[in-house]
Amino acid sequence: MVATGTLVTLLIAGVASLFMAWAIGAGSSGSTPFAPAVGANAISVMRAGFVVGILGLLGAFLQGANVTEAVGTELLIGAPLTPTAAIVGLLTAAVLVAIGVFAGYPIATAFTVTGAVVGAGLALGRGPAIPKYQEIGLLWVLVPFVGGGIAYATAKLLRDERVSEAVAVPVLAGLVGVVLANIEFVLLGEPGEALGLAAAAARVILEGTTVVTPRFLVALKLALTLVFALWVMAMLRWDITNDPEAGQRHFLLALGGLVAFSAGGSQVGLALGPLLPLLGPDTVSVPLPALLFVGGLGLLVGSWTGAPRMIKALAQDYSSLGPRRSIAALIPSFAIAQTAVFVGVPVSFNEIIVSAIIGSGYAAGGSGVSVTKMGYTVLAWIGSLVLAFAVSYGLFLAVDGLL
């Protein structure tokens, strides 16, 4: 039987985790996915907040396990966080993210949560997981260059008068289809296993086959991926041929939906990860899928209640976005987000989207890109990491001294 004091502590930690989920939903995962689409007038601010909440919940449930486990078990060496350390880390990060939401500046949630968890953990006496920090840091440094660079090149392509949009946009959709065919979903695999659409289709085709070489399996997955990509291309080509503006808008909204789904799969781990080590046979055993669903609900509520303010900030303050530049911003955002989910690395969606928006903006000669706003945002990202670490470290030492 679990002691009453332990249950109270777990309850406080759970409330802190839900507050963190709300703050992330109101800020990073709730605002960034549809900001380019709103900036291009493809969807209203309020409708974007509603849709992103639903898709974020689905992403959290279907893809949230990898990042949740990484944040919960891989950022520190030694024993897991204590309930007190988890509460300190979660509350520190949630308060900082919430301040960013109400101030109108997109705080990098991955920076904030990572800094807070590591700060509390080191104050607790846990060891630093240097290899994991190197992996995370490399991705964080590469995101602006890779995302912004791809967005810049894509926007240049779409602006080139020698290239027909009726050809370029469907080809880009085909590339998105390649990624979509290979991202993994827990519902497609056996219990405890995740499969992509191509892999699941290959399993169905090969059902009952006793001898399959690895090369043949890879070739079959590649063929199914190509078929799916060509189908996506054909559908969008047909849509654009019938109505170019409507087809472009439909593609933009589909990209926003995919990024929103990816945001849920990545960002829920930032809220639930610190809570994960506290749950188990000795306390309260909660199945991970159930935990992910509850965390997804927290993201949904945050998206519905707090995201519109940040959607407006990103859509209107950073760059004057049209449909072409919005498409250019969302394609690398989707690819980078799914890469981070796959490898289990916490990544900030604000960093991804803002970098892509800026890259697409410079493709038009820097038109509408606010250099001042950009500079303040970068400082906020760096400051959120340092501040979260320092506050969490000091706060844990103060609380621990009083207990």
Identify which has the larger pLDDT, 253 or 226. 226
Task: List, for residues 6-57, the tens digit of each pLDDT value.
Answer: 677 778 888 888 888 887 887 766 666 777 677 667 777 778 778 888 988 8
The yes-or-no verdict on residue 282 having pLDDT over 70 is: no
The yes-or-no verdict on residue 318 having pLDDT over 70 is: no
pLDDT of residue 32: 67
Task: Pick from 128-132, 191-195, 368-372 the range whose average pLDDT is largest.
Answer: 128-132
Task: Pick from 84-88, 279-283, 365-369 the range whose average pLDDT is largest.
Answer: 84-88
AA letter at 377:
T
> What is the average pLDDT across 289-312?
82
pLDDT of residue 171: 92
The yes-or-no verdict on residue 279 having pLDDT over 70 is: yes
Q: Which two tokens stand for residue 245?
A: 């503006």
The yes-or-no verdict on residue 106 having pLDDT over 70 is: no
pLDDT of residue 245: 83
pLDDT of residue 259: 87
AA letter at 127:
G
CB atoms within 10 A of CB 190: 9
Parallel, antiparallel or unpaired: strands 184-185 and 195-196: antiparallel
> What is the average pLDDT across 53-80?
87
- Cα separations in angstroms, 135 against 340, 347, 364: 11, 11, 33
Task: List, for residues 322-356, the tens digit of each pLDDT value.
Answer: 778 888 888 998 999 898 888 888 888 778 888 88
Task: List, for residues 189-218, the tens digit of each pLDDT value.
Answer: 676 677 888 888 888 888 877 777 888 888
The yes-or-no verdict on residue 319 having pLDDT over 70 is: no
Across all residues in the chain, what is the average pLDDT?
Answer: 82
Task: List, for residues 72-98, the tens digit of each pLDDT value.
Answer: 888 999 877 888 888 888 888 888 877
129-138, 192-201, 240-249, 296-305: range with lowest mean pLDDT: 192-201
Question: Does residue 122 contact residue 133 with C-beta atoms inside 8 Å?
Answer: no
pLDDT of residue 116: 92
